[in-house]
Structure 1
């Protein structure tokens, strides 16, 4: 579906998900993340960039596990994460829009939990490339976890936390030959409805990840 059609449907409140491809498992246990390898940090920073040219090839379960751990996994015995959050609120949830359904990443058990048995990629952004890229990440703030943060500052705090996660994804992508781009031009209402979010949750950003089409 092209960008103009999505815009029109979005303005009409009729931007909808597609049926899932295959059966949507209620949960997916990911393999343990590999916490070694990839490019050195300075080399990854040197080639970090945004790309909007994605091949439809799916990521392997191992690569997906590594990606999610790098993005927002647990890296300490006290439950600390690979990305910071103010007062350790850990208010960001990472959702995945896959062809087989939409899932929430549970870092504590390294597992994906089904939230919608539909292909939500179409509604995670107005750009046409999101329809066929293998993975769209959606970052959602849960303000019920931010009781110690003044109400007027919660959105900005959460946005900073989500930004740190997106940069982790950028560096992982650069280090592992993947393409990615962060996107704020999204239909937050349509995404929230599709994910079944509550009024205490807010969609902040989306990020597409996959292989570069010209490299496959």
Structure 2
């Protein structure tokens, strides 16, 4: 697995670099990050989607603590639907992802606790902007058609679309106006939306099935499913 997990990539896109505050839907981000952990496990060949449920295909740890905890939970539990897992996993996940990014020196935890400690306020401004810049660069290249996205970037684009986070991509002009269509096209080309062919996709079918199932679960939870 990569040094920066998909859940961390989503969080970095959602948080303002200077204010250190999350922008957009909080519930959307939490659901998206929960799905992202499962997508990372699919990318690592640890889980798949079968018979309407997320199932473990290989219980071997990946070396990433959050993902391995989730892998253990899925392996030890009875089979659950993607919708059930994103709801189960979202609680407390944001704090763990923030702590990981602060530990890596990517973000900083600024404690602004006031009122004699009764109101706890934390901001998480960026410390190392190069990490987020690389994420945005991958997405921008995919959205502008400069290159065909790999399966990890295609999955990230699908999650961004599912939680309606495209305004955070910071694109200008025609690229900004056309971003939702391009996100949909990336998903279809990767075989996520049922309209594309997995035979022509550079995304493994096992990964595409997990991503499609999870993005549908998010859309249903947010009431955005058409």
State the TM-score, normalizing by the size of structure 2: 0.29
Bigger proportion of residues as strand: 1
Which gives a bigger RCO, structure 1 or 2 (Cα 8 Å, sep 6+)? 1
**The structure with more helix, counted as a fraction of residues:** 2
